[in-house]
């Protein structure tokens, strides 16, 4: 009876918490979107369709995988991990997993967030869907009302060999770390990285999270001694979700400090910033009576994010990377698990002459 938003679980967690003693569990989610920028043609897209598959080998051992089909004709395995419930509130988990940072990277099913598109902070600053192969532990400290996660992950790839020991830079100013995701696909590992998150769920309707990610980027063996082929990353995140009757709110702040970007930009010719930063706040209200199965949620979200929050060396800040977005719209939940969305995005950047188009979006989302 509890709907998935108030439970605040995601697809993988739902599979893991199944009552079924043994065997296969199947689910999925999908998003079909229509983006209409001002003064341009619209784009209609089956943005993603995801198959969730779980298997319970025993009381203690489960496998979970997400097979994602993007833009109709691309495929990615997005999660594939074994969870071993070693003791009460203590699990060891290994495989291709989501990095716990912010809200949407772990909770990206379309019925769990407002807006046709995910928040931009969760695309440009947190490179959602951010997943790598790793291993670690997670569980709960029930007395303290805390959930914990701590993993060793493979990291971003910042550069690769270009010809005879030349260096090709993969990361760039406009989207920060996003292009460096290796996604578990024949990924290069030169040094491990650490990711952890603490969630507090001690107050009814409230969930608070604090995340950290620490490590160096990866590169090819032939060039890893070249100064600037890799950079260091410290990313910190705070997030909050709150539900009270028909009202809900959420917010998130992400700060990432990158070291050695000066050397990186010199040898690659790229324009990677030394600080990435973004935050958003969102308020929402269900316009229908709470007893209804259907919900019609009106929401507004304010976002600011900048991949040149700071720059190192001679690099000059690019104002087009300092972005502000206001999104306002409706989420109409026809049934639990099915949502029709419509919103308008006022988009701006820090340049004197704004070059970002506002746009109208519609979407259909399902999660089962």
Contact residues toward a second copy (CB under 8 A) are 24, 26-28, 30, 32, 34, 39-46, 49, 51, 53, 55, 57-58, 60-61, 63, 65, 67, 69, 71-77, 80, 82, 84, 94-96, 132-133, 154, 182-190, 218, 220-221, 224, 293, 334-338, 340, 364, 366, 368
Query: Which one, 76 or 130, has the nearer CB to a second copy?
Result: 76
Distance CA 157, CA 182 (A): 7
Query: Which one, 10 or 154, has the nearer CB to a second copy?
Result: 154
Q: How far is the CB of 111 from a second copy (least distance, A)?
A: 10
Query: Which one, 73 or 291, has the nearer CB to a second copy?
Result: 73
Query: Which one, 152 or 326, has the nearer CB to a second copy?
Result: 152
Q: Which residue has the tokens 């720059």?
A: 311
Q: How far is the CB of 193 from a second copy (least distance, A)?
A: 12
Q: How far is the CB of 51 from a second copy (least distance, A)?
A: 7
Q: Which residue has the tokens 């949620």?
A: 297
Q: What are phi and psi of 231, to 5 degrees?
A: -130, 165
Query: Which one, 135 or 266, has the nearer CB to a second copy?
Result: 135
Tokens for 272, please give them.
Answer: 């990677």
Query: Which one, 181 or 197, has the nearer CB to a second copy?
Result: 181
Q: What is the DSSP letter of 316?
A: P
Return the C-alpha torsion angle 281, 287, 290, 294, nearest 10.
Answer: -100
Q: How far is the CB of 315 from a second copy (least distance, A)?
A: 28
Residue 180's alpha-carbon distances to 83, 170, 211, 218, in angstroms, are 27, 6, 20, 9
Indicate the SS3 state at residue 221. Answer: helix
Query: Which one, 1 or 314, has the nearer CB to a second copy?
Result: 1
Strand partners, 83: 62, 93
Q: How far is the CB of 271 from a second copy (least distance, A)?
A: 26
Distance CA 26, CA 368 (A): 9
Q: How far is the CB of 352 from a second copy (least distance, A)?
A: 25
Q: How far is the CB of 54 from a second copy (least distance, A)?
A: 10
Q: What are phi and psi of 233, to 5 degrees?
A: -130, 130
Whose CA is closest to 251, among 281, 271, 210? Answer: 281
Tokens for 337, please give them.
Answer: 């698990």
Residue 36's alpha-carbon distances to 29, 287, 323, 327, 344, in angstroms, are 23, 26, 19, 14, 9
Q: How far is the CB of 128 from a second copy (least distance, A)?
A: 17
Evaluate whether 159 touches 152 at the Cβ level (below 8 Å).
no
Cis peptide before 322 (omega within 30 of 0): no
Distance CA 196, CA 194 (A): 7
Distance CA 283, CA 246 (A): 11
Query: Which one, 27 or 176, has the nearer CB to a second copy?
Result: 27
């Amino acid at each position: 009876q509890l709907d998935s938003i108030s439970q605040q679980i995601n697809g993988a967690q739902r599979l893991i918490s199944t009552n079924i003693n043994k065997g296969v569990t199947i689910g999925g989610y999908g998003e079909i979107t229509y983006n209409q920028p001002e003064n341009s043609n619209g784009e209609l897209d089956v943005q993603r369709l995801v198959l969730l598959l779980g298997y319970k080998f025993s009381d203690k051992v489960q496998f979970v995988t997400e097979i994602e089909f993007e833009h109709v004709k691309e495929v990615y395995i997005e999660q594939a991990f074994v969870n071993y419930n070693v003791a009460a509130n203590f699990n060891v988990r290994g495989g291709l997993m989501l990095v716990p940072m912010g809200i949407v990277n772990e909770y990206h099913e379309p019925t769990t967030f407002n807006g046709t598109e995910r928040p931009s902070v969760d695309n440009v600053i947190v490179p959602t869907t951010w997943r790598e192969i790793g291993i670690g532990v997670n569980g709960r400290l029930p007395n303290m009302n805390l959930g914990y996660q701590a993993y060793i992950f493979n990291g971003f790839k910042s550069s690769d060999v270009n010809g005879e020991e030349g260096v090709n830079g993969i990361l760039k100013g406009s989207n920060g770390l996003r292009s460096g995701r290796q996604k578990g696909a024949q990924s290069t590992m030169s040094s491990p990285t650490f990711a952890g998150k603490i969630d507090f769920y001690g107050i009814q309707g409230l969930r608070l999270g604090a995340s950290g990610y620490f490590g160096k980027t990866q590169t090819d063996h032939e060039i890893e001694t070249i100064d600037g082929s890799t950079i260091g990353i410290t990313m910190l995140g705070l997030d909050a979700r709150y539900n009270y009757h028909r009202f809900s709110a959420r917010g998130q702040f992400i700060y990432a400090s990158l070291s050695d970007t000066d050397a990186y930009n010199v040898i690659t010719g790229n324009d990677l910033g030394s600080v990435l930063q973004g935050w958003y706040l969102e308020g929402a209200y269900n316009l229908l009576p709470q007893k209804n199965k259907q919900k019609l949620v009106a929401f507004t979200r304010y976002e600011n994010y900048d991949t040149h929050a700071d720059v190192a060396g001679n690099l000059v800040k690019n104002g087009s990377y300092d972005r502000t977005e206001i999104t306002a719209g409706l989420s109409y939940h026809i049934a639990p698990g099915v949502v029709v969305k419509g919103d308008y995005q006022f988009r701006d950047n820090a340049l004197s002459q704004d070059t970002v188009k506002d746009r109208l979006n519609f979407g259909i989302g399902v999660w089962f």
